[in-house]
Structure 1
Amino acid sequence: MHVPHRSTTARRTVLATALLGLAAAALPGTAGAAPEAAAPEDPAGAYAIGLDDPAKKEIAMKLVSSAENSSLDWQAQYQYIEDIGDGRGYTAGIIGFCSGTGDMLDLVELYTDRRPGNVLAGYLPALREVDGSDSHEGLDPGYPGDWRAAAQDPEFRKAQNDERDRVYFNPAVGRGKSDGIGVLGQFIYYDAIVMHGDGGDSTSFSSIRERALGQAGPPAQGGDEVAYLHAFLDARVWAMKQEEAHEDTSRVDTAQRVFLDAGNLGLDTPLDWKVYGDSYHLD
């Protein structure tokens, strides 16, 4: 099984602030939500739905899982936990929550608010102490087993879903819609935020987007969608190659770029792709 590639450091710092506004934009009807930018005129109906359509979201979850966990069974990953040696402590769950980057702490706090006295609640002091490091102090030896036990609780699985959406999925879809890009583009954004997070460093999602904007404009700015998405993927590849853990760019080269070259802006099935040499198919 391929070692999962996970988000870069400091992803919690700005995701909890700058991206939260984008998450609101992706949730029509939410109190205080900013109105979404209108999608470009589309007589063929390619923008009638977004990545937040349930069927498209399921495809997105499977695509990310193929890269992160070498499996299309993303729901089997609620119980996943290991230290992959990337300096971020334990990596776990459906989106790679990390004990060293704060999003695991946020998740366990949410779970404990909803389910006081749960099996992970006693680890909150240790999670606060190890935040920002690769330390397991206060977590070993029981934490991995207790994480897997918690994953049997539907409330914990729901908490993982909710944090995934709040911090990663909704911001990506909201930003994609405001840029006027379709389902494939919104997925390209989502996969980038999952891996790189969003912050002030040169490899964060926002920095990747800014680099792309220097080469092409998105449809919301009058640009060509295909040209813009190629520019974004070029910038993404550059960012991945800045970090040894991400230097295999096949999740772009033999997956996302394949869909884009085929003109599949709606991310419609059937889909065939490869990640890290493994082949996948969705009907």
Structure 2
Amino acid sequence: MKINKYLIWFLALFLFVVMVTVMPTGAAENTSNMKNVILQMTTTLENSDTQLHFNYAENIGDGRGITFGCIGFCTGTYDGNILIKHYTELNPDNVLAKYIPALDKIDAGSHYAADGDGNPSVEGLSGFIQDVNSCDDPLFKKSQMDKLDELYYNPAMEIADSIGAKNALTKAFIYDMCIRHGVDGAKSIIKNAGTTPKQGADENTYLQKLLSLRDVKLKQEGAGDVNRNQGYKNVLNSGNIDLKTPFTFVAYGDYFTIDGKLDLGEQQQETTVEDRKNSTAAVIIEADNRLREASPDIVYQSSSFIDVGGIKSFRYRDVMRFDLSEYTSDFHVSNATLSLYWYYPAGTSRPNDTVIEVYRPASAWNSDYVSWNKRDKGVLWKNPGGNWYDKNGVLQGSTPYATITIKGSTLPDNRYYEFDVTDLVKEYTSGKYENTGFLIKARTENNNYIAFYSSEAWNENQKPRLAVTEQASVDPIIDVTPVTDVTVTGAMDNRLREASSDTVFKSSTFIDVGGIKSFRYRDVMRFDLSEYEASGEVSDATLSLYWYYPAGSSRLQDTVIEVYRPASAWNSDYVSWNKKDKGVSWINPGGDWYDKNCVSQGSTPYATITIKGNSFPDNRYYELDVTDLVKEYTSGKYENTGFLIKARTESNNYIAFSSSDVGNINQVPKLQLAYS
């Protein structure tokens, strides 16, 4: 059969076109950092560029004064003054601080322009544009990104979460509305859009409604940017609702390529498994979600912050998971540190301390669906707010894997705070438990709300970090250094009884902790360690207390027993609830102490155990690991002031142990030491 050569050429051309059309490209599969993409889209509308212009400043005559910075802060709409004041907090000697009095006057003046949003006055701002143009202080850039997050991006993502928006394009459009109209203006448009995706609306149809409403708003304002929505309409029509990069975005007739590559001066360095041997490496975070009691069914997956504590009777917790798949039994994890960057509430103290604790989530959770009520699609937590195991394997227990205390009087200082999560990470990497990540909460959750940056933060230097130090497995080395075990008894122990605040309880046959009938009970105890101070290094120290009371009775509350370091020496002949020596009062009735972080009256104990309220005394020893505190004494770091023993909460949880005066050597308090 004779074949027409033109037919062959046509078929070849047809197949080529089909292959090019349907063949997936790397770019189509590359979903860039959503936040970078969102910021790029809006900055094309603000600065006609895909990169942020931190030194931009111009009076564009829109009734809002001077527009400046990376997102168009304005001297006549309050946010410009907010930014400069924040910058001045970071750098009091900055070149723009001198304009604050003029900005205060503008803020106090009439805001009659720009649809009632702006004050066009630039009185006192001569030289402002030039100073912004020439300001090369890195803290100026940081202050802009701080306020971008606080004033616009975070609220935009909160709005998106509240209406059930899942698509990146919808979130990008809400953010742009917040930038252009303010958060209240964006909420006003959304309020008029009717049924939300959370209420069952199709999200693309809902976005079309928002676009139409905003078209009307832009025409009403008459600021000359009626075509601002066109780029978002084009992307919606293309079907790229997930904002997969690269894609073309139009801004006022100009075309830009959005690639998610936002230049913020960040540098990242990849680390291979081989490089990590015998070294510390940063682990990639997979997911972090807020759990918010006030919105128990909302999924907070894309917030730029995570938060703990309580405010207005509602509680806040978080779940977080890092990818540990590359860490196998071939490696020995020697240390793991979780670092969280504290930034909020800026410049504000709290009525109560925030004792942050880390637990092991009791089961896997799905970042796309996890909330206060649910851990996966259609799957509830057994306990709203999350199910967890504590360090002792107790479900909903109160002995955390890691804890730190942030005092209520402390102001956010924009730095990382570290948690030693070594034990939990070891349990994951050894295969003992499935890696369900971290559940992070405050010990008490009332008037102590604080927030850290999340994995969605714009700055890599503020995102949560997990640093793992590991060593390649090696053949075990037999340690021939002799280890001596010794049991120390004969402790001096005194009860501190609030109901008899000046009575010395030196010879009681018991010591007691907790609370009953509105009174509290604590103890001080000291063992003689003088002969061990030069005997070598203590490798283990265990305090054993014999629980016997209340026999056959449960309590209304758990008793979480904690051990602290008494802040000063005390005299067993005179110590009481009120006094530490003859004529010498404690600074704080009930005893002065330091916690493990050396915080006076702190709440991070050296050792802790939990005795459940529904358990009965079983006439046996309970052990507390006091190795760290005893090491501090025997090394000479601190004077041996013994142990201050108390319950974490002191109400309806009274229990008693045998004291050194019980008369039975098999029930007295013991301190077991191992040293070499």
TM-score range, shorter chain: 0.7 to 0.9
1:65-80 correspondence runs (5 A) = 65-74=43-52, 77-80=53-56
**Aligned residue in 1 for 2:151:** 167
SS of the equivalent of 1:281 reads: strand
**Aligned residue in 2 for 1:226:** 204
TM-score normalized by the length of structure 2: 0.31
- Once the 2 structures are TM-superposed, how far is the Cα of residue 246 of structure 1 from its aligned partner? 4.2
Task: Say which structure is richer in helix.
Answer: 1
Letter in 2 for 1:179: I
Letter in 2 for 1:155: L
**Aligned residue in 2 for 1:211:** 192
SS of the equivalent of 1:198 reads: helix
Equivalent-residue separation in structure 2 for 1:229 and 1:239 (angstroms):
15
**Aligned residue in 2 for 1:43:** none
Cα RMSD for the two superposed structures: 1.7
Equivalent-residue separation in structure 2 for 1:108 and 1:129 (angstroms):
14
CA displacement, residues 95-116 of structure 1 (integer Å, 9 cap, x when unaligned): 1111111101000111111111
CA displacement, residues 118-140 of structure 1 (integer Å, 9 cap, x when unaligned): 11111110111122422222111
Structure 1 segments, 4+ long, off by >6 Å, are none
1:1-283 correspondence runs (5 A) = 55-74=33-52, 77-131=53-107, 132=111, 133-140=119-126, 142-150=127-135, 152-181=136-165, 182-199=167-184, 204-213=185-194, 217-249=195-227, 251-253=228-230, 255-283=231-259
Aligned residues: 218
Letter in 2 for 1:108: I
Letter in 1 for 2:176: D
Equivalent-residue separation in structure 2 for 1:221 and 1:187 (angstroms):
20
Taking only the aligned residue pairs, the percentage that are identical comes to: 39
Equivalent-residue separation in structure 1 for 2:63 and 2:48 (angstroms):
21
Structure 1 residues 54, 155: closer, same or farther in 2, change over 3 A? Answer: farther
Equivalent-residue separation in structure 1 for 2:199 and 2:206 (angstroms):
10
- Once the 2 structures are TM-superposed, how far is the Cα of residue 54 of structure 1 from its aligned partner? 7.4
Deviates more, 1:183-192 or 1:57-66: 57-66
Equivalent-residue separation in structure 2 for 1:73 and 1:268 (angstroms):
18
Unaligned runs of 5+ in 1: 1-52
**Aligned residue in 2 for 1:28:** none
**Aligned residue in 2 for 1:29:** none
Letter in 2 for 1:138: G
Q: Tell which structure's C-alpha radius of gyration is larger.
A: 2
CA displacement, residues 189-217 of structure 1 (integer Å, 9 cap, x when unaligned): 00111111133xxxx2112111211xxx2
SS of the equivalent of 1:245 reads: coil
Contact in 1 for aligned 2:41/2:258 (Cα 8 Å): no
SS of the equivalent of 1:79 reads: coil
- Once the 2 structures are TM-superposed, how far is the Cα of residue 227 of structure 1 from its aligned partner? 1.0
**Aligned residue in 2 for 1:21:** none
Contact in 1 for aligned 2:168/2:241 (Cα 8 Å): yes
CA displacement, residues 215-249 of structure 1 (integer Å, 9 cap, x when unaligned): xx222111111111111111111111111114522
Contact in 1 for aligned 2:152/2:183 (Cα 8 Å): no
Letter in 2 for 1:197: G
- Once the 2 structures are TM-superposed, how far is the Cα of residue 263 of structure 1 from its aligned partner? 2.2
